[in-house]
Amino acid sequence: MSDETLYVQVPATLANLGSGFDALGVALDLYLEVSASPAPSDQLHYSGQGHVPNTPHNLIHQGYRTAWQALGEANPPTLAIQAHNPIPLARGMGSSSAALVAGAALADLLSGHQLGKEGIFAVTAALEGHPDNVAPAVYGGFVAALADPPLALPLPSPKGLVFVLGVPPYEVPTPLARSALPKTIPLVDAVYNLARSALWPAALYSGRLEALREAARDRLHQPYRAHLMPGLEATLEQVYAAGALAAFVGGAGPTLAALAEIHHTEAIRGAMQGYVGQGSTLVLGLGEGLRWKAVSVPSR
């Protein structure tokens, strides 16, 4: 007889990319790592960024149970989960989406891959309510995605570029950031963003990376959330002056992301210092998507 140990790795992500609100995202090479094995009851053993209570009421188990429900199983096998998470919590780097995807991937492993990546994406996009973090978490690189119907298409990932990330010390919870948005927007602003979100795939496919600066401009969410992130608008201009190709708020914020060639890294980090304060800066490459496997462990 043998037991299986399940291993899952899910990348951090940045959503929106400025103009692509709830539609565009990208994976980063910073990974949530999860291992799990059968247990008499659901357990979580968490380490890494922030504090997550070691109880069964966590996002990994939530994604796990929801995925089983999608497969028609109301009483899934119970798991003891070990999670190491280097992704900052509530900073706009997709920590919640990574946890949900990890849980759904565990269900996929135990079910004999009845979901596959497409099913994992569909389940977690419905659970999140928007697909722009979970799509790159599943597929990696730059992705354009819809939640309804569930559809995610990869975009080209240029070589030799990195993301410089300014991570302030405070959180901006997604519900707070969502509540800052207006119920209606002017037609001119909707057209502004539609045109610029279309520039992202055009620039990536054509290699016209100088167009990304315009592609990242936004009128739908960043201006309405700027009061939650002091110094944001001035810092956006400063990182462009330091050589960024594109700059935008990661997800709901407050992380500020700048896509750049490697030789501009230090100048951009310097331009972010006033915004970051007692927080930190990171330099990360583009990430790969979900990786998952099951290993049989002989019973003693």
Q: Is the model's pTM score more than 0.85?
A: yes
CA distance linking residue 6 with residue 74, whole number of Å: 21
> ω into residue 254 within 30 of 0, thus cis?
yes
Q: How far is 80 from 35, CA to CA, in rounded Å?
A: 8
Report which residue type is found at 142.
Answer: F
Q: Tokens 């009128």 map to which residue?
A: 219
State how far the Cα of 98 lies from the Cα of 247, in Å rounded to an integer.
23
Encoded tokens for 43: 């357990």
pLDDT at 50: 83
CB atoms within 10 A of CB 156: 13
* Buried/exposed 100-128: b ≥16 CB within 10 Å, e otherwise: bbbbbbbbbbbbeeebebebbbbbbbbbb
Q: What is the pLDDT of residue 1?
A: 32
Instruction: Spell out the per-residue pLDDT of the chain, length 300, in tens.
Output: 347 899 999 999 999 999 999 999 999 999 999 999 999 999 999 999 988 888 888 999 999 999 999 999 989 999 999 999 999 998 999 999 999 999 999 999 999 999 999 999 999 999 998 999 999 999 999 999 999 899 999 999 999 999 999 999 999 888 888 899 999 999 999 999 999 999 999 999 999 999 999 999 999 999 999 999 999 999 999 999 999 999 999 998 899 999 999 999 999 999 999 999 999 999 999 999 999 988 765 554
User: Nearest 5°: CA angle at 132, between 154 and 204?
Assistant: 40
- How far is it, in rounded angstroms, from Cα 250 to Cα 225? 12
Place of tokens 């995925």: 67
pLDDT of amino acid 247: 98
| 94 torsion bin: left (phi>0), alpha (psi -120 to 50), beta (else) | left
